[in-house]
Amino acid sequence: MRKRMMGAALAWCLTGQLVAAPEVRVEGLFKGAAVLQIDGQQVMLKNGRAHASGVTLVDANARRAIVEIDGQQHELALHTAIGGTYQQTDITQVVIRKNDMNQYRVSGSINGQTVQFLVDTGANTVAMNEIQARNLGLLYKVNGRESQAVTASGVVATWVVTLDSVKVGEISVPNVRAIVIEGAYPQDVLLGMSYLEYVRIQEHNSVLMLEKKF
């Protein structure tokens, strides 16, 4: 009889481990939606939607998310978590709102000098015109590798350079590849994929969120 009781207790413990509540962390907050990390998987849920794990987003705004787990509701702020063995970690995020021209513009810096970026996921690299490069003190004709590009004005000379650092908000990436384009095009410094590949990108309701990966 005692052995059966011990076996039942062991089975209950194992079952308790198997049905343990999922670990939920809030990674992004928007009006009517939230970016959650559920047991290591990043998902975006809208109000009233449930995840396969059983986690339901009851309500969310820019300040907090209310999630329901196993019939119980929990209010979580940005970068907080519930369940599992979660330990708080530092997460660096930048939130950019779309302007009236449907563009994502943001202030940042190149090699410590302030610039205005236009976020462009279609650009392979950070890109700027030669006037901007000279203003930044880049010796692109000395240190860069000369190449060519086709623009609306025809074939123009370009120089491939490596920037010491590119920073947006608190997300700084070292040794970023960039191109300098002969003439006054592009008008804005393009924040392309040679920087963006180091961040996670989420877009929702005309808001772009960048989060450092490493």
Mean local confidence (pLDDT), 132-154? 92
Lookup result for tokens 């000395």: 142
Q: What is the pLDDT of residue 62?
A: 81
Q: What is the pLDDT of residue 83?
A: 63
Mean local confidence (pLDDT), 113-137? 96
Q: What is the pLDDT of residue 145?
A: 96
> Which residue, among 132, 141, 117, has the nearest Cα to 191 in the 3D structure?
117
115 has a pLDDT exceeding 90: yes
CATH 3.30.465.10 fits 95-212, yes or no: no
Q: In what order do the strands lie in the sheet with 81-82?
A: 41-46, 33-38, 24-30, 81-82
| N-to-C CA span, the chain | 55
11 has a pLDDT exceeding 60: no
Q: What is the pLDDT of residue 130?
A: 96
Alpha-helical (H) ranges within the chain are: 2-18, 130-135, 140-143, 193-196
165 with 111: CB under 8 angstroms? yes
152-156, 178-182, 192-196 — which is least confidently predicted? 152-156
Highest-pLDDT range among 14-28, 78-92, 99-113 = 99-113
Tell me the C-alpha distance between 22 and 33, whole Å.
Answer: 19
The structure's pTM equals 0.61
Structure token pair of residue 204: 């929702």
Q: What is the pLDDT of residue 85?
A: 40
Q: Where does the pLDDT of residue 142 fall: very low under 50, low under 70, confident under 90, or very high at 90 and above?
A: very high
> For residue range 55-74, what is the model confidence (pLDDT) as tens digits?
999 999 988 899 998 888 88
* In the chain, ranges of CATH 2.40.70.10 domains: 95-212
